[in-house]
């Protein structure tokens, strides 16, 4: 059965765990993104981000499957790949130990990923230190610790060692079908009992709670298997994309701030008449429309972005303060004060004092532009997230 497509993911950009993948953002793409931001072309920014992520998805990643001998590691690899044990390229399985040395497998469900089937720690007779060195833990990107029947001291040692290395790992309990058929507990209580036992053993060694999945190798589409695959797709993208996406974020944030400074200087220059180029400088609605257009978050641009991202425009406008003058004023007391009727009446009363009027206009325009740039950053962050986590609509 074909598995649904998952785009690369970073679960909480830009605050994500950084992995060293040896890949930096493509310089030409980053320049194009920066240029598009300067020109207020958000759709071109989207295209640049997508191009970057498409390149990053080609980075090879190593996932190791480890644990105690006899826990069903090879069977789990076959189940994860959704192939039968009888197929030619399946991992050999059996009631006796079948994995003597490291074996490598691939899967069409996880392109550019090497699945390492490691010998069980208990079967090697090695210390944890020699096992880690021989199995090359230092070059592995993500670990899946397999357990069944009991969560042993070896499992805890592996989890503690991997955590010290600062790497991601999962705990996967693999023989849930057997547990369900032999337990007198209800399914809900059994699942809670297994999780509780795993967590208690980890907590004794101060191991931070990892993702825990309870699966049956006989049913690769049931129990926690779909959740496991979804999480794995997300973390693979995090491994590949986190550092380059942080670079993109830094580039974009600096570009937006520089653009704001440029417009502040232009507005603050008293010699420039009507710096925003609007018909009426006191028409704040018109000034807001122009300001949003300058930064590429006007209604038309956001509609194009939403279509390109495969979602609806409200997803990008929902958290915008600058949707319209009402939402902008409601979300910022300073601008509300600057644009209240009393202040406007006072301006008209003192209209012959041109300097006072111009100074207040500049303050309002600068404040509006600042709020628009904040919305631009919020929208850009969502674009980055949605590029690696397609929104559900």
pLDDT tens digits along 303-330: 999 999 989 999 999 888 998 888 888 8
Question: In which band, very low, low, confident or very high, does the pLDDT at 139 lie, cut at 50, 70 and 90?
Answer: very high
Q: Which helix (H) or strand (E) holds 262?
A: helix 225-268
Q: What is the pLDDT of residues 170-184, one digit of tens each?
A: 999 998 989 898 888
In eight-state DSSP terms, residue 322 is G
Whole-number pLDDT of residue 237: 87
252 close to 380: Cβ distance less than 8 angstroms: yes
Encode 38-59 in three state secondary structure: HCCCHHHHHHHHHHHHHHHCCC
Question: In which band, very low, low, confident or very high, does the pLDDT at 92 lie, cut at 50, 70 and 90?
Answer: low
Question: In which band, very low, low, confident or very high, does the pLDDT at 26 lie, cut at 50, 70 and 90?
Answer: low
Read off the pLDDT of each residue in 241-270 and give the average, rounded to a whole number: 87
Q: What is the pLDDT of residues 49-85, one digit of tens each?
A: 988 888 888 899 999 999 887 788 888 998 898 887 6
Whole-number pLDDT of residue 344: 62
The backbone torsions φ and ψ at residue 355, rounded to the nearest 5 degrees and listed phi first, read -60, -45
Q: Is the pLDDT of residue 4 over 50?
A: no
Question: In which band, very low, low, confident or very high, does the pLDDT at 256 lie, cut at 50, 70 and 90?
Answer: very high
246 close to 18: Cβ distance less than 8 angstroms: yes
Q: Is the pLDDT of residue 218 over 80?
A: yes
Q: What is the DSSP string of 116-150?
A: EEPPPHHHHT--HHHHHHHTTGGG-SEEEEEEBSB
Read off the pLDDT of each residue in 346-357 and give the average, rounded to a whole number: 55
Cα–Cα dist 315/306, whole Å = 8
205 close to 156: Cβ distance less than 8 angstroms: yes
Whole-number pLDDT of residue 9: 34
Q: Is the pLDDT of residue 23 over 70?
A: no
85 close to 75: Cβ distance less than 8 angstroms: yes
Whole-number pLDDT of residue 329: 82
In eight-state DSSP terms, residue 96 is S
Burial classification of residue 378, based on how many CB atoms lie within 10 Å of its CB (0-12 exposed, 13-18 middle, 19 or more buried): middle
For the record, the structure tokens of 361 come out as 């206009």
Of 203, 171, 197, 170, the residue nearest 185 (C-alpha): 197
Cα–Cα dist 49/109, whole Å = 23
Read off the pLDDT of each residue in 274-278 and give the average, rounded to a whole number: 73
Cα dihedral sign, 148-153-159-161: negative
Question: In which band, very low, low, confident or very high, does the pLDDT at 295 lie, cut at 50, 70 and 90?
Answer: very high
Helix segments in 269-340, DSSP class H: 284-294, 299-309, 314-317, 325-330, 333-338
Lookup result for tokens 């009888």: 86
Poorest-pLDDT segment among 131-135, 136-140, 389-393: 389-393
Q: Is the pLDDT of residue 392 over 70?
A: no
Q: Which helix (H) or strand (E) holds 104?
A: strand 103-107
Whole-number pLDDT of residue 203: 95
Burial classification of residue 299, based on how many CB atoms lie within 10 Å of its CB (0-12 exposed, 13-18 middle, 19 or more buried): middle
Specify the pTM: 0.75
Cα–Cα dist 165/156, whole Å = 14
| Domains of the chain, CATH where assigned | 61-237 (3.40.50.300), 269-388 (no CATH)
In eight-state DSSP terms, residue 216 is B
Averaged pLDDT of the chain: 82
Question: In which band, very low, low, confident or very high, does the pLDDT at 95 lie, cut at 50, 70 and 90?
Answer: very low
- In what order do the strands lie in the sheet containing 168-173? 103-107, 110-117, 61-67, 142-147, 168-173, 212-214
Question: In which band, very low, low, confident or very high, does the pLDDT at 120 lie, cut at 50, 70 and 90?
Answer: confident
Question: In which band, very low, low, confident or very high, does the pLDDT at 348 lie, cut at 50, 70 and 90?
Answer: low
Whole-number pLDDT of residue 20: 43
Whole-number pLDDT of residue 18: 40
For the record, the structure tokens of 204 come out as 């004794």
Cα–Cα dist 311/240, whole Å = 24
Vertex 52: Cα angle to 295 and 246 (nearest 5):
70
The angle, 0 to 180 degrees and rounded to 10, between the axes of the packed helices 42-56 and 27-38 is: 160
- % of the chain at pLDDT higher than 90: 43
154 close to 121: Cβ distance less than 8 angstroms: yes
């Amino acid at each position: 059965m074909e598995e649904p497509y998952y785009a690369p993911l970073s679960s909480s950009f830009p605050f994500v765990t950084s992995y060293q993948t040896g890949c930096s953002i493509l310089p030409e793409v980053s320049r194009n993104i920066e240029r598009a931001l300067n020109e207020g072309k958000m759709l071109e920014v989207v295209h640049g981000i997508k191009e970057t992520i498409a390149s990053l998805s080609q980075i090879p990643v190593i996932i190791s499957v480890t644990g105690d001998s006899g826990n069903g590691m090879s069977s789990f690899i076959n189940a994860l790949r959704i192939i039968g044990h009888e197929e030619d390229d399946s991992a050999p399985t059996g009631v006796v130990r079948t994995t003597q040395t490291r074996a490598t497998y691939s899967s069409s469900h996880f392109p550019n990923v090497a699945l390492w089937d490691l010998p069980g720690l208990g079967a090697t007779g090695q210390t944890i230190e020699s096992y880690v060195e021989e199995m090359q833990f230092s070059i592995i990107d993500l670990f899946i610790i397999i357990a069944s029947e009991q969560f042993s001291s070896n499992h805890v040692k592996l989890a503690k060692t991997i955590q010290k290395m600062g790497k991601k790992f999962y705990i996967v309990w693999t023989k849930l079908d057997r547990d369900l058929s032999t337990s007198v507990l209800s399914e809900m209580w059994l699942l809670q009992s297994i999780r509780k036992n795993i967590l208690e053993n980890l907590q004794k060694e101060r191991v931070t709670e990892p993702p825990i999945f309870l699966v049956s190798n006989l049913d690769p589409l049931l129990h926690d298997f779909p959740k496991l695959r979804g999480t794995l797709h997300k973390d693979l993208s995090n491994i590949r994309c986190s550092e380059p996406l942080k670079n993109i974020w830094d580039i974009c944030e600096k570009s937006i701030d520089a653009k704001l400074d440029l417009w502040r200087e232009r507005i603050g220059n008293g010699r420039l008449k009507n710096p925003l180029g609007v018909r009426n400088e006191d028409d704040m609605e018109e000034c807001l429309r122009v300001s949003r257009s300058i930064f590429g978050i006007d209604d038309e641009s956001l509609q194009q972005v939403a279509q390109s991202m495969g979602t609806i425009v409200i997803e990008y406008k929902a958290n915008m303060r600058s949707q319209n003058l009402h939402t902008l004023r409601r979300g910022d007391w300073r601008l509300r004060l600057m644009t209240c009727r009393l202040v406007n009446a006072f301006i008209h009363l003192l209209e012959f004092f041109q300097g006072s009027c111009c100074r207040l206009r500049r303050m309002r325009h600068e404040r509006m532009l600042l709020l628009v740039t904040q919305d631009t950053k919020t929208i850009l962050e969502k674009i980055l997230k949605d590029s690696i986590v397609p929104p559900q609509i």
